């Protein structure tokens, strides 16, 4: 990827009705819709706030789902953020293992 170009959207993370799990099928549909509507890139687990309440496994699930569903149609930039001091550095290296070359 030569650089950023166009509009990258911060994706929401849909949850099941009881709020206990990520609603993966809805997330996949949302990714498709964002791309069909012209998003040039996607940024999961970012500034919509739910990243503060996602476990590492859930973050990984959301990132992997978005990357897989985008299927190289657009770049995916996995956001990093933590609300616990000292944990950002530990988690910041994890997305590298989730990334597929776009």
Question: pLDDT tens-digit profile of 18-35?
Answer: 989 999 999 999 999 999
Spatial separation of the C-alpha atoms in residues 30 and 42, rounded to whole Å: 11
Buried b (16+ CB within 10 A) or exposed e, 32-70: eebbeeebebbbbbbeeebbeebeeebbbbbbbbbbebb
The angle, 0 to 180 degrees and rounded to 10, between the axes of the packed helices 24-36 and 56-70 is 40
- pTM comes to 0.79
Question: pLDDT tens-digit profile of 6-17?
Answer: 999 999 999 999
């Amino acid at each position: 990827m030569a650089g950023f170009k166009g509009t990258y959207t911060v994706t929401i993370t849909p949850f099941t009705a009881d709020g206990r799990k990520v609603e993966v099928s809805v997330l996949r549909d949302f990714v498709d819709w964002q791309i069909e509507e012209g998003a040039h890139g996607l940024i999961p687990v970012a500034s919509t706030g739910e990243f503060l309440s996602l476990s590492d496994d859930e973050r990984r699930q959301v990132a992997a789902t978005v990357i897989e569903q985008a299927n190289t149609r657009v770049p995916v930039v996995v956001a990093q953020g933590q609300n616990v001091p000292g944990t950002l550095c530990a988690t910041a290296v994890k997305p590298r293992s989730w990334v597929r070359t776009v």
